[in-house]
Structure 1
Amino acid sequence: MTIVRLGYVAMSVHLENASPSQTMTYKQFSQLKDREAGLRKLERIAVSNLHNCLRLLKHNLAHDIKFFRFSSKLIPLANHPELKDWKFMRAMKEPLQEIGDFIKEHPQRVGFHPDHFVLLNTNNKDTLKNTLQTLKIHEALLRGMDVDPKHRCVLHVGGAYEDKEKALEQFIHNWGLTPVSLQELIILENDDTVFTLHDTLYLCEKLGIPMVFDYHHHLAHHEKSWEEDWERVVGTWADSPLPVKMHISSPRSEKDFKAHAEYIDPGMFLDFLNGIKDSADQVDCMIEAKKKDDALFRLVEDLREKKELRWIDHASFEI
């Protein structure tokens, strides 16, 4: 038997006024006459985002959801080059601790998936510097919650830069320039355009990084069937304190296959589940769908009557 836990990304369509991604652009900030007042306003926005994260975690608890991805936009302009002197973590200490206390009392798996501009295989020194700084911010947020940062941050391999093999080797080179604490933060995901399951496994096995298998990405871009490499994917998690993690989404349409649909195709998901049962003690499945938590709720409804599943609670089951 394999335990499967369902999770969703960043925000709820059921909670009102609970966005964790409220923001201010640098243009808006630069138009403020009082810079210090502008920084305090940024801090108020960030604190509000964190308070909404706590609301989301409480919402999750009410529905037995123990797997959640935080927004990577919690602190607007946190990595902006013109705000290097801003010590924003001081203002975040109390709300981060509140989140951490809640997670300790009601254990849930949480993590991040930074935006596409975080590129660890770049050959541009400034881009790499910005990438490492962004990862440090994610690590600091997790430490502020007193959550072990290890294997909490999903990255794509990066760009091909017109030579995929060279880009893979650039990742390995830059990995050597990455502080060990940030290396431990990272897990890698296959993408739907450049780096396949096989490419990503190459890096994960060579560098000792757990792999997040994205089923939809694989269907959109692959060289061979995923089943023959699944055991290797599971093996990359052997030394992690966390269970195997994967992403599930469904194509918006055959014509627009790579785009995410609003909900999850239950038949597509069941095909995957039947391929992984008994392969690991637990697999955490992150739902990447436009309808967020509502997609999770609908998927549970769709799967509720499937005889091969034994439900543990409202968001996890055994297969």
Structure 2
Amino acid sequence: MLGYACMNLTLREHEPPLRCNRGMQKKTWESRGLDYASELAVQNFADLYDILRWNVDHDIYFYRCTSELVPWNSQFELTELPDYDEIARIAADCGRLIRDNDVRFTFHPSHWCKLASESADTVANSIRDLEIHGSWLDLLGLPRTPYYSINVHIGAHYNDKEATAARFREAVDRLSPAARKRLTVENDDKEGLWSVPELTEAVAEPLEVPVVFDYHHHQFTSRGLTYREGFELAAQTWNDVRPIAHYSEPAQLYGQDARPQAHAEYVSSVPDWLLDGADVMLEAKSKERALLQYRDGTEPAVGTS
């Protein structure tokens, strides 16, 4: 099945807009604090339910949620929120909708989540971030399995890949089951960073953490493997859980002046073998519109932006 990430552009244009990423700047957090964070969290969970309902109504059963679901959650426990009971009630409704319709629901924390950092503070903050995502999935009532994944990158090598991998493994071992059992790791988009075979050897085999295959990234870290070979190697790390793969096309393909890593607005040709072997997250800038256009069989115009 196909999925999309975070923002639903169609619902974002509604009045009022529906979105689940309401946040606030540090200055606002310091002035308005827990009460406002709680208010925003209620709105985010309520809109998440409507987004999930829209997805199901449009036969979309794979969705990556924003990591801004509960603003400033690193500064408090969920149960401290004044509206916690209301948030928990809406979250239970969301979880029931997810389970009843077999929706695959995932997270992808930001690039600031660096479990292999040389900084102890950065590692501690990263662990905290993953624990927060795990607590949200628990609040939704979803099983602790990579079917409902929390996906990360190693994202750096710190001039010593072996030591970096060791730090990553040590950090993973510090995670609680809520985060640890849902963790996945993805190949990177720079030649010197982490490829599928490197992640398989350094992470998947010793830790049983599945590898998410990013099709677009593989061109930068192929290590001599074809796209299909890279995917099949990653797929073997998922054991009894259906793999996740990411698919996007370069913006340059549509005539845009952009970095090779930049994603296009739409996609035109997801390989059949990828669709057969994995649930595919489309990382296209046009979000659900790209998914619907691809599924309807219409081709994006060259130069579309």
Normalised by the size of structure 1, how large is the TM-score?
Answer: 0.82
Q: Aligned residue pairs: how many?
A: 283
Within a 5 Å distance, the mapping from 1:67-106 to structure 2 comes to 67-80=62-75, 83=76, 87-88=80-81, 90-91=84-85, 92-106=87-101
Counterpart residue number, 1:253: 252
Cα distance, 1:139–1:180 mapped onto 2, change above 3 Å: closer
Distance 2:103 2:206 in 1: 30
SS of alignment partner, residue 140 of structure 1: helix
Distance 2:235 2:103 in 1: 21
Counterpart residue number, 1:113: 108
Could you tell me the percent identity over the aligned residues?
A: 28
Distance 2:52 2:89 in 1: 16
Structure 1 runs not aligned, ≥5 long? 33-37, 305-319
Counterpart residue number, 2:199: 200
Distance 1:251 1:147 in 2: 34
Normalised by the size of structure 2, how large is the TM-score?
Answer: 0.86
Distance 1:13 1:85 in 2: 28
Q: Which range moved further: 251-260 or 203-212?
A: 251-260
Distance 1:111 1:85 in 2: 19
User: Taking CA–CA contacts closer than 8 Å with sequence separation of 6 or more, which of the two structures ends up with the larger relative contact order?
Assistant: 1
Counterpart residue number, 1:179: 176
Distance 1:166 1:303 in 2: 47
Cα distance, 1:101–1:227 mapped onto 2, change above 3 Å: closer
SS of alignment partner, residue 42 of structure 2: helix
How far off is 1:188 after superposition? Answer: 0.9
Distance 2:56 2:173 in 1: 40
SS of alignment partner, residue 187 of structure 1: strand
How far off is 1:124 after superposition? Answer: 1.6
How far off is 1:169 after superposition? Answer: 2.3
How far off is 1:136 after superposition? Answer: 1.4
Distance 1:150 1:118 in 2: 20
Distance 2:275 2:2 in 1: 15
Structure 2 runs not aligned, ≥5 long? 300-305
* Letter aligned with residue 187 of structure 1: T
Counterpart residue number, 1:230: 231
Determine if contact 1:25/1:77 at 8 Å carries over to the other structure.
no
SS of alignment partner, residue 191 of structure 1: coil
Q: Alignment partner for residue 5 of structure 2, among 6, 9, 12? A: 9
Q: RMSD of aligned C-alpha atoms?
A: 2.2
Within a 5 Å distance, the mapping from 1:54-73 to structure 2 comes to 54-73=49-68
Determine if contact 1:11/1:18 at 8 Å carries over to the other structure.
no
Cα distance, 1:175–1:286 mapped onto 2, change above 3 Å: same
Determine if contact 2:135/2:178 at 8 Å carries over to the other structure.
no
Distance 1:29 1:101 in 2: 31
Determine if contact 1:9/1:70 at 8 Å carries over to the other structure.
yes
* Letter aligned with residue 84 of structure 2: R
Residues 82-101 of structure 1, C-alpha deviations (whole Å, 9 max, x = no match)? x5798238252112111112
How far off is 1:277 after superposition? Answer: 7.3
Cα distance, 1:29–1:231 mapped onto 2, change above 3 Å: closer
Residues 22-64 of structure 1, C-alpha deviations (whole Å, 9 max, x = no match)? 11112122234xxxxx321211111111111111111111111
Counterpart residue number, 1:49: 44
Counterpart residue number, 1:165: 162
Structure 1 position 262 matched with structure 2 position 268: no
